[in-house]
Amino acid sequence: MIKIRYLVAWLVLLAVAMLNGALREFTFGKYVSELAAHQLSCLIGILLFAVVIRQYVRLWPPVSAQQAWHIGLFWMVLTVVFEFLFFHYVAGHPWQVLLANYDMSAGRLWPLILIWVAVAPYVFSRFSRQGGR
């Protein structure tokens, strides 16, 4: 069972994602193409998420590899659900625009963030168990 602290951790990840988006919009996004801004923002997001996820895994280590995978998949599902519900129904983006973010052949890196969110709890819990703190 996923504990409430992992939901809180996802809310922290959501706040970090929003800050990353604001960083993109108010800084480098003004000076590079939309695709380049998206790609740089995705890479920054992966790094920022790594910091947050590592801290949560150190603070509340998963008791097993299976739990680490459950946490990561829980976060990934919440992220996808939030993305589609919020950006379609609140922000008004058409489904085609949202789905286009998944097209890695067009240079979109969003799927890498989702994969990272899913695997990072397991990766960091493995490092912690091997003494890589």
- Residue 127's pLDDT is 85
- Residue 31's pLDDT is 97
Along the chain (133 residues), what's the average pLDDT of each consecutive run of 10 residues? 84 97 96 97 98 95 95 96 93 93 96 98 87 49
By the 10 Å C-beta count (0-12 exposed, 13-18 middle, 19+ buried), 6 is classed as buried
Domain residue ranges of the chain, discontinuous segments joined by +: 4-128
Buried b (16+ CB within 10 A) or exposed e, 26-52: eeebeeeeeeebbbbbbebbbebbeeb
- Residue 130's pLDDT is 64
- Residue 74's pLDDT is 96
- Residue 131's pLDDT is 55
- Residue 3's pLDDT is 81
